[in-house]
């Protein structure tokens, strides 16, 4: 008999019985240890393959989640840029404190800002947060985007 037949046929006690009866009873120790070792090794291999596949799926899911998060952030930034364009009544690419205060009183602007998850309770305080970059009294589109990203949800 080959070791393959002995291990995987399921009839190893029958094969071992011949050795024990005709040669020596000590051969049973060899067969028990051998079969236990093969079963243990087979289980370890199966477990390793299962863990490998699980880790590969988890890594793929993690990268997918990062991509979805980045796409969501890009969309959010695009919405903020549109809001800036709507707020910039002078069209010079800068938002002054007077422009900001005037448009923050409009209900449609307040609704749009709520959709962006930014709560405007005090327009002056929010403008100061947005103007942290250079403190020149006006906000560029980049300062506006960065500031709203900082205060999203808790301004």
DSSP class per residue in 19-64: HHHHT-TTHHHHHHHHHHHHHHHHHHHHHHHHHHHHHHHHHHHHHH
Q: Is residue 97 within 8 Å of 130, Cβ to Cβ?
A: no
Q: What is the SS3 assignment for 139?
A: strand
Q: Which of 13, 11, 3 shows the shortest CA–CA distance to 41? A: 3
139 phi and psi angles, rounded to 5 deg: -120, 130
Q: How many residues does the chain have?
A: 155
pLDDT digits (tens, 9 = 90+) for 84-140: 888 888 888 888 888 877 777 777 777 777 776 776 666 777 777 777 766 777 888
Q: What is the DSSP letter of 116?
A: T
pLDDT digits (tens, 9 = 90+) for 10-64: 777 777 788 888 888 888 888 888 888 888 998 999 999 999 999 888 877 877 8
């Amino acid at each position: 008999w080959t070791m393959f037949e002995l291990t995987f046929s399921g009839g190893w006690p029958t094969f071992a019985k011949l050795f024990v009866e005709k040669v020596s009873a000590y051969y049973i120790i060899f067969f028990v240890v051998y079969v236990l070792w093969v079963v243990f090794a087979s289980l370890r291999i199966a477990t390793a393959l299962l863990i490998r596949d699980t880790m590969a799926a988890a890594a793929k899911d993690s990268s997918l989640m990062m991509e979805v998060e980045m796409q969501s952030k890009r969309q959010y930034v695009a919405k903020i840029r549109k809001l800036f364009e709507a707020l910039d009544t002078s069209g010079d690419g800068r938002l002054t404190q007077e422009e900001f205060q005037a448009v923050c009183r409009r209900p449609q602007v307040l609704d749009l800002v709520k959709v962006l998850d930014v709560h405007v309770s005090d327009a002056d305080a929010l403008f100061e947060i947005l103007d942290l970059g250079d403190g020149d009294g006006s906000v560029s589109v980049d300062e506006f985007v960065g500031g709203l990203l900082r205060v999203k949800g808790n301004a």
